[in-house]
Structure 1
Amino acid sequence: MIEGRMETRTAILRAARTLFLERGYAGASVRSVASAAGVDAALPIHYFGTKQALFLEALPSMPDYQPLLEGDPDDLGERFVRYVLEEDGHLRPLYLTLLRASDAGAVGEQLRDLHETTFVAPLESRLAGQDAELRARLAAAVVGGLMYALWVVGDDQLLAKGEDDIIRRYGALLQHLIDDRL
């Protein structure tokens, strides 16, 4: 019996992850998750309590930025911009899903926590000089702005300028914050 419960729970999580990434938080109902999982409509709430709790547990993990941060700090700006532009299809749907769900109470809190623990705090720990925390937060905002322009606004003209040029220029902007040159 326990094995069946774990399989049901896993099926619900798998279906929820797929639907939340495809449709967003508002577009994926608990009923549609249950249907996609092939279970009774009441089971997602039975196993997870609320739609928010299901959403938070179903999301794939945030990318591990640590390898990017551990490299040479002198080219971190360009490396990070290249990472965003050449992402493997995991970061963009996760970013868009979290952004679109950020006004849903616990989801917004989780997003802030992920922002702190996966980007701001690790970057801050690598920065030398004054105002490391402020510079780490500004760097996060700069990276977030690029993702917003590319993935929310869909600024195709930006991409048309050439990936190498964007990496060089936007990377330099980010590098200024990292190096404390502003």
Structure 2
Amino acid sequence: MSITSTAAGPTTREAIAASARTMFAERGFTATSVRAIAAAAGADPALVIRHFGSKEQLFLEVLGPTRAPGPELEGPLAELGRTLVAYVLDPARDAERRAYATMVQASDNEAVRATLRTAARTSFIDRLTARLPGADAAVRAELIGAQIGGLMQAWPTIEPLLGAVGRARAVDLYGASVQALVDGSH
């Protein structure tokens, strides 16, 4: 029997989503089972599948890349590298960085990998390609995406460095590297 929404608590679907979000973020995709999610939500495992279709679909819904709008790509191209890095290193983006890292770790799953690639393309790469000048704009946009993705993935290892050198200095240094691709410098 499914729990319905009441003033006192969440629906079964909401409880499953909340449990899954926490467990996927803490344990990753592979180490999190449908049974464990259901148990944490106080639900039958069959309800996880009924509400979400599969573990992959649940994962993508609760942590998927479409949950965040992506970086702002407007503004002067001469500042875009620094703007993108500042966006990624913004302390308010911690949840997005963790969700991204969890998605990348789960990208050995075909459904997750395809969704991650599609989301990156539509929310960032295609938009960036349209902004960049030059015949090789699409290649440069892909490489910028790789640089930004790498920065997000490396967050746990570079966070202590930011305390040592300061966030502004890290934005300047890494931003210059990204800016070289924005500009198409040789």
Q: Percentage identity across aligned positions? A: 43
For the 8 Å contact 1:130–1:180, the answer to whether it is kept is no
For the 8 Å contact 2:88–2:152, the answer to whether it is kept is yes
Q: Distance in 1 between matches of 2:49 and 2:23?
A: 16
Q: 1:4 — aligned with what?
A: 4
Q: 2:18 — aligned with what?
A: 14
Are residues 57 and 145 of structure 1, via their aligned partners in 2, closer, same or farther at CA, if it must alter by over 3 Å? closer
Give the paired residue count: 179
Alignment of 1:112-123 (within 5 A): 112-123=117-128
Q: Distance in 2 between matches of 1:65 and 1:107?
A: 18
How high is the TM-score relative to the length of structure 1?
Answer: 0.86
Q: 2:34 — aligned with what?
A: 30
Alignment of 1:112-151 (within 5 A): 112-151=117-156
For the 8 Å contact 1:62–1:114, the answer to whether it is kept is no
1:147 CA drift (Å): 2.3
How high is the TM-score relative to the length of structure 2?
Answer: 0.85
In structure 2, the gaps of 5 or more residues are none
In structure 1, the gaps of 5 or more residues are none
Q: 1:163 — aligned with what?
A: 167
Tell me how large the CA RMSD over aligned residues is: 2.3
1:166 CA drift (Å): 1.6
Q: 2:81 — aligned with what?
A: 77
Q: 2:114 — aligned with what?
A: 109
Letter in 1 for 2:73: L
Letter in 2 for 1:86: D
4+ residue runs of structure 1 moved beyond 3 angstroms?
Answer: 155-158
1:80-102 deviation line (CA, Å, top 9, x unaligned):
11111124222211111101100
